[in-house]
Structure 1
Amino acid sequence: MSEIVYPPVIRAAKIMFKVLGLKLKVEGHENIPATGGAVLCSNHISYLDFIFAGLGANPAGRLVRFMAKKEVFDNKIAGPLMRGMHHIPVDRENGASSYIAALKALKEGEVVGVFAEATISQSFTVKEIKNGAVRMAVAGKVPLIPVALWGTQILWTKGRKRKLWQRGTHITILVGEPMYPKRGDDYDQVTKELRTRMQQLVDKAESAYPTDGTGQWWQPAHRGGTAPTPEQAAALDAAEQAERAAKRAAREAAEGSSGS
C-alpha cells in the first residue's frame, strides 16, 4: 500500500505539537504487534483523538487505519487527507460495507482503529459500548488492544471552544495489554471486559495526570470535576440525537414535497 500521505502528516503533527509545547506521554506501545493485523479500541473524549491514538502506535512503527464517519471524508480539506491515509469511512446507513472494508484491512495485516463509544463522551468516562470491535477482532483473527487518551479534551471537545494553541497541555496515551477473543466466546461479556480495561487505563491516566483537575470542566464529576455525570451526559446525547432526527425528518419532508 502506497504511503505518500500518512508519514508526512505524522511528521507535521509532531512538529506542530512541539511548537505548541504539548507534553506527550506514551506508555505501552510494546503491546502493539510489530506485524500483522490488530484492532485498536480507544476511548473518545476529543475531536482530535484519532491523531493521538495513532501516535500511540507510532513508536511501534505502525500506521493505524481509523474508522471515521463518512461526513469527515466529504469535507473538502479533511477528505483528501483521510483517503490518502487510507482511513475507513463509516456510513451509518450502510454499516456492512464499512465492516467489510475494515475486515479486509485486518486480513491484509493492518492495524484498524475504532472508537467503540461512537460519539464523544461528555462525562469523560467510558460510555457503554457495543460488541462490534470484539466481533471484528474475532473475524479477523487478530488481537484487540484497549487504549486510553487523557488531556485531549482540553484542546477540543464537544460543547467547548477549541484551545489548540494552549501551550503546555499534557497529553497521555496509554496502550493496554492485548485481548484475544475467539469464536465461541460470549461477545457481550468480552465487550464488558474491554470497557472495564479501557476505564482502568483512563483511571490510571487521570491519577497520574500532572495538572490538578479539581473543579475543572474537563475533569469527571466522580473525581471532583464539573463535567456532566454519565447520566447527565446520556441525557445530553439523547437530546442531541432527537434533534438530529427531527432535522432529518424535516429535510426529508421538504425534499418530498418539492419533488411531488
Structure 2
Amino acid sequence: MTDGHHQHQEAAVDARQADPRPPRGFWFGVIVAIVKPFMIVFTKCRFTGRENMPRTGGVVYVPNHISHFDPVVLGYFIWECRRIPRFLGKASVFKIPVAGKIISGAGQIPVYRESAQAADAFRDAVAAVERGECVGVYPEGTITRDPELWPMTGKTGAARIALMTGCPVIPVANWGAQEILRSYTGKVRFRLLPRKTLQVRAGTPVDLSAFEGKPLTNQLLHEATEVIMARVAETLGELRGETPPKELYDLRKARKAQGEEKE
C-alpha cells in the first residue's frame, strides 16, 4: 500500500472526526439503514447549501412541500448536513403499522389537527428547539396546490417557534420528488426508473430581526411568515433557475372562490 493511499485514508478519518455525525439512536438508525442505500441506488441527489445549516444548537428549517415523497428526501438531506431531523408530521402517519412505530421512535413530532391535542405539537417543537434539536416545519401545512408547484402562503407556526426561542430559520427548497410521486393528480403514480435527480438547497438564515422583541400578535406573525415564505420561494427559484411568482398561491382564497363558483 502506497504512502499516498495511507495519507488519503488518514485525511478521510480526520474529516470524519472534524465533522462527526450526531448520535442517531436505535430507531433513527433503522431509518438511515433503510433510506440511505435506497437513495443511493434509485436516485441522484444534488445537495447544495449544506454550509448554511448550523451544525449545533436549536434550529427550525422550513421546506417547500411538493410530494408525499419529499419528507424522505429532506430527511436524508438533513442527515447529510450532520443533523438529526425532527419533523412535524400528520398524526395519521404515526398510526401506520410498523412505520408509525419507527417514526415515533425516531423522535418525530405528531400534529393533531383541529383537536384538543393540536397545541401539543407546537409545545413539543418549542421544547425540541430549546434542547438544541433541528426541527422541520412545513409552513404550507400541506402539499402545494400551485399549478407550477411554487410554495403557497404559509401558516404562522414556524415564525412563532423561531421568535419564541430566538433560533435561526433556514429556508430549504426541494425539487424532483414530484417526478417520483406526483400528488393530487387524480391517481397515484410512483416511478423510480429511470433514476430521478433530486435537488435540495438550504439558504442562509431568514432575517427576522425586524420582529424580535415585539408582542407576538397575529399580524406580526403573519408578516414574519410572509418574509419566511418569500425566502423559501426565492431559494426554490435558485434551484429551478426560474423566477418565483410575486404573489404566492393562497389555498384559502382559492377554496373560497371555488365554493362561490359552485353556488
Q: TM-score, normalised by structure 1?
A: 0.77
Distance change in 2, residues 1:221/1:30 (3 Å) = closer
Any unmatched runs of 5+ in structure 2?
1-22
> What does residue range 94-243 of structure 1 map to in structure 2 within 5 Å?
94-123=117-146, 124-160=149-185, 161-179=188-206, 181=208, 182-184=212-214, 186-207=220-241, 230=249, 235=254
Selected match of 1:17 from 19, 31, 39? 39
Q: Could you say what secondary structure the match of 2:136 adopts?
A: strand
Distance change in 2, residues 1:84/1:162 (3 Å) = farther
Structure 1, residues 203-257: CA drift from partner, whole Å, max 9, x if none? 111128xxxxxxxxxxx998xxxxxx947997479879xxxxxxxxxxxxxxxxx
Distance change in 2, residues 1:27/1:234 (3 Å) = farther
Selected match of 1:5 from 17, 27, 42? 27
Task: Work out whether residues 141 and 155 of structure 2, in 8 Å CA contact, stay in contact via their aligned partners in 1.
Answer: no
Structure 1, residues 106-159: CA drift from partner, whole Å, max 9, x if none? 111101101110110132111011221011011122111110010111111323
Per the TM alignment, residue 173 of structure 1 is displaced from its structure 2 partner at its CA by: 0.2
Any unmatched runs of 5+ in structure 1?
209-219, 223-228, 241-260
Q: How many residues are paired up?
A: 222
Task: Work out whether residues 121 and 233 of structure 1, in 8 Å CA contact, stay in contact via their aligned partners in 2.
Answer: no
CA distance in 2, matches of 1:239, 1:76: 36
Distance change in 2, residues 1:54/1:207 (3 Å) = same
Task: Work out whether residues 56 and 175 of structure 1, in 8 Å CA contact, stay in contact via their aligned partners in 2.
Answer: no
User: Are residue 37 (structure 1) and residue 78 (structure 2) matched?
Assistant: no
Distance change in 2, residues 1:143/1:199 (3 Å) = same
CA distance in 2, matches of 1:159, 1:9: 26
**1:255 corresponds to which residue?**
none
Task: Work out whether residues 122 and 233 of structure 1, in 8 Å CA contact, stay in contact via their aligned partners in 2.
Answer: no
Structure 1, residues 183-210: CA drift from partner, whole Å, max 9, x if none? 32833222111111111111111128xx
Structure 1, residues 32-76: CA drift from partner, whole Å, max 9, x if none? 111111001110001022121122222321011000011011111
**1:215 corresponds to which residue?**
none
Selected match of 1:27 from 40, 43, 48? 48
Task: Work out whether residues 122 and 158 of structure 1, in 8 Å CA contact, stay in contact via their aligned partners in 2.
Answer: no
Residue type at the aligned position of 1:146: P
Distance change in 2, residues 1:74/1:158 (3 Å) = same
Distance change in 2, residues 1:235/1:192 (3 Å) = closer
Q: CA RMSD in A?
A: 2.8
**2:3 corresponds to which residue?**
none
Q: Could you say what secondary structure the match of 2:25 adopts?
A: coil
Task: Work out whether residues 37 and 111 of structure 1, in 8 Å CA contact, stay in contact via their aligned partners in 2.
Answer: yes
CA distance in 1, matches of 2:104, 2:140: 23
Q: Could you say what secondary structure the match of 1:41 adopts?
A: strand
